[in-house]
Amino acid sequence: MKLLGEMPPFDLTYSDVFMVPSRSSVTSRLDVDLSTPDGVGTTIPLVVANMTAVSGRRMAETVARRGAIAVLPQDIPVHAVTETIDYVKAAHTVYETPVTVSAEAPVASAIALLGKRAHKAAVVVDADHRPVGVVTEGDLRDVDRFTTVGQVMSCDLFSVTPDADLDQVYDDLAKHHLGLAPVVKDGELQGVLTRKGILRSAIYQPALDDRGRLRIGTAIGINGDIAAKAKAMLEAGSDVLVVDTAHGHQDKMLDALDVVKSARDEHEASTGTRIPIAAGNVVTADGARDLASAGADIIKVGVGPGAMCTTRMMTGVGRPQFSAVLECAAAATELGAHVWADGGVKYPRDVALALAAGAGSVMIGSWFAGTWESPGDLNRDASGRFYKESFGMASARAVSNRTQGRTAFDRARSALFEEGISSSKMYLDAQRPGVEDLIDSIIAGVRSSFTYAGARNIAEFRERATVGVQSASGYDEGRPRETSWS
């Protein structure tokens, strides 16, 4: 990264900085390759944060189809992690997984399911899982909730076979004014194709493991039987192990890393596949060096920038995220490690600036909580706006979840140390309610940033990006106005 002018004597976050364009020989935004250098195998530099309100199986399969990866939180039991990994590994790499209902089900049950998919339809199947119809939001509007799905579904099924040409399917869907087509093989439902999905398949490359399955990561804390947990995650098929705690620069973390590294190396010796280890969180060069020296391939950077995080207000500890990423990335690079910039991302520009500072990938939590794909229930506020509830992983709510096996006294004592909020409303953006809509917007912004800098890939961008420091009014000038000035 080049600096425009002098670096000020204080630390900076994303809104404090801007980039200027440089002479470029990259003539199209489609010529930019966003695959990450961090060894995780993602084709876009996005990681979904290991937060219970954000990262579950629907989120994981959806983002992996577009080239990103989700990390499952440390709080869920090992058997649930294994089931989730199995689900994601079994998911199709191109077709979306539909929700299915039976024709006999009341429409109320179909309505409850539609919010779980961005394509807003359910495939109606018979007892042998053969599709017999499709029911969409429109079909379910203004009908008695006890009407059966069979009474309102559309039976005129436009289905396609797995060998169908995707461009042709797109044209056929457009011609018939249809949103989606079930993909059927030997009468059995394989998935669905939507117009948007077909378009996205042409733009993104899925993040696939060496067996051609979608990738997914898992988080491990620094307490409990870490060796057993790491082994179970590796055996279940986790593609990256994230050793994660609030204060990553502590002895217990270094001990945990030692254990996880041994489990990983053993797994590599028996399978030939080396699973990267990410560890954090830290915000100093010393912290990054210690974690890299202890075996972390990726250093997770960020103390306090998270939207659910109260650490800085509670403790005064943390560091403005742009400077933290810049310093940790420089230290990590010296030791052959990479950085994930974790937390505080609210706009596509923040992702671009994290990459300019040297991040190999960027972790996003709360922004993705407000999407169809996050695990929470879909709620509506008094004005009818959709939202999901989110909470921090160090909130009293999460701590109480995480410490379930312990004594009441122990749990109450742990909850005293909360450093996160237990409930927040994350509204779904009416224009971009799905995580793929947000990814489209982020990736469009980042591709464009790269061409402004004349960079074809992440390594070139880190080298070529020219960053300056701006005032609050400089930042404000860049914001669009949705209403007039007066």
Ligand X SMILES: NC(=O)C1=CN([C@@H]2O[C@H](COP(=O)(O)OP(=O)(O)OC[C@H]3O[C@@H](n4cnc5c(N)ncnc54)[C@H](OP(=O)(O)O)[C@@H]3O)[C@@H](O)[C@H]2O)C=CC1
Residue numbers at the binding site for ligand LQESDW3C (CB under 6 A): 49, 51, 281, 302, 304, 306-309, 311, 342-345, 363-367, 392-395, 419-420
Structure tokens at 439: 């990814």
Distance CA 350, CA 477 (A): 16
Q: Is 309 a catalytic residue?
A: yes
Among the listed ranges 118-126, 160-168, 216-224, 307-315, the one in contact with K ion (CB under 5 A) is: 307-315
User: With CB cut-offs between 5 and 8 Å by kind, which of ligand X, ligand LQESDW3C, K ion, none does residue 458 bind?
Assistant: none
User: With CB cut-offs between 5 and 8 Å by kind, which of K ion, ligand LQESDW3C, ligand X, none does residue 245 bind?
Assistant: ligand X
User: With CB cut-offs between 5 and 8 Å by kind, which of K ion, ligand X, ligand LQESDW3C, none does residue 247 bind?
Assistant: ligand X
Are residues 426 and 379 in contact, defined by beta-carbon separation less than 8 angstroms? no
Distance CA 161, CA 443 (A): 31
**Is 246 annotated among the ligand-binding residues?**
yes
Q: 319: how many CB neighbours lie within 10 A of its CB?
A: 22
* Shortest distance, position 181 Cβ to ligand LQESDW3C, whole Å: 35
Q: Which is nearer to ligand LQESDW3C, 197 or 420 (CB)?
A: 420
* Shortest distance, position 417 Cβ to ligand LQESDW3C, whole Å: 11
Q: Where are the alpha helices (DSSP H) in 53-165?
A: 57-65, 78-90, 107-114, 137-140, 149-152
* Shortest distance, position 355 Cβ to ligand X, whole Å: 19
* Shortest distance, position 353 Cβ to ligand X, whole Å: 18
* Shortest distance, position 351 Cβ to ligand LQESDW3C, whole Å: 11
| Selection from 172, 210, 179 nearest residue 193 by Cα | 179
Q: Which of 309, 324, 329, 369 binds K ion (CB under 5 A)?
A: 309
Residues linked to residue 389 through DSSP beta bridges, in sequence order: 425
3-state SS record for 296-336: CCEEEECCCCCCCECHHHHHCCCCCHHHHHHHHHHHHHHCC
Q: Which of 197, 306, 376, 433 binds ligand X (CB under 6 A)?
A: 306
- Between the alpha carbon of residue 307 and those of residues 13, 271, 304, 391, the distances in Å are 14, 39, 8, 9
Q: Which amino acid is at 227?
A: A
Counting Cβ atoms within 10 Å, is residue 15 exposed (0-12), middle (13-18) or buried (19+)? buried
Q: Which is nearer to ligand LQESDW3C, 292 or 393 (CB)?
A: 393
Q: Which of 276, 343, 344, 348 binds ligand X (CB under 6 A)?
A: 343
User: With CB cut-offs between 5 and 8 Å by kind, which of ligand LQESDW3C, ligand X, K ion, none does residue 192 bind?
Assistant: none
| Contact positions with ligand X (CB under 6 A) in 209-238 | 221-223
Q: Indicate whether 311 belongs to the interface with ligand X (CB under 6 A).
A: yes
Residue 475: its H or E element: helix 472-477
- Greatest alpha-carbon span in the chain: 69
Backbone angles phi, psi at 25, to 5 degrees: -105, 5
**Is 245 annotated among the ligand-binding residues?**
yes
Q: Which amino acid is at 22?
A: S
* Shortest distance, position 390 Cβ to ligand X, whole Å: 13
Selected catalytic residue, list 135, 309, 325, 396: 309
- Between the alpha carbon of residue 450 and those of residues 15, 36, 355, 469, the distances in Å are 18, 14, 10, 19
Q: Indicate whether 393 belongs to the interface with ligand X (CB under 6 A).
A: yes
Site track 409-448 with ligand X (rule: CB under 6 A), x = hit: -----x--x-x-----------------------------
Distance CA 13, CA 21 (A): 20
Chain residue whose CB lies nearest ligand LQESDW3C: 420
Chain centroid offset of residue 175 CA: 34
Q: Which of 302, 358, 360, 434 binds ligand X (CB under 6 A)?
A: 302
Q: Which is nearer to ligand X, 253 or 337 (CB)?
A: 253
Distance CA 6, CA 175 (A): 58
**Is 306 annotated among the ligand-binding residues?**
yes
Q: Indicate whether 247 belongs to the interface with ligand X (CB under 6 A).
A: yes
Distance CA 377, CA 114 (A): 12
Q: Terminal CA-to-CA distance of the chain, rounded, Å?
A: 39
**Is 244 annotated among the ligand-binding residues?**
yes
Distance CA 313, CA 111 (A): 41
Q: Indicate whether 282 belongs to the interface with ligand X (CB under 6 A).
A: no
**Is 302 annotated among the ligand-binding residues?**
yes
Q: Indicate whether 394 belongs to the interface with ligand X (CB under 6 A).
A: yes
| Selection from 124, 129, 126, 127 nearest residue 107 by Cα | 124
DSSP per residue, 194-226:
EHHHHHHHHH----B-TTS-B--EEEE-SSS-H
What strands, in cross-sheet order, belong to the sheet with 386-390?
A: 379-380, 386-390, 424-427
Residues belonging to the binding site for NAD(+) are 244-246, 302-304
Binding region for K ion (CB under 5 A): 309
Residues annotated as catalytic are 309
Residues belonging to the binding site are 244-246, 302-304, 306, 309
Binding region for ligand X (CB under 6 A): 50, 221-223, 244-247, 250, 252, 281, 302-304, 306, 309, 311, 343, 393-394, 402, 414, 417, 419
Residues belonging to the binding site for NADP(+) are 244-246, 302-304
Residues belonging to the binding site for K(+) are 304, 306, 309
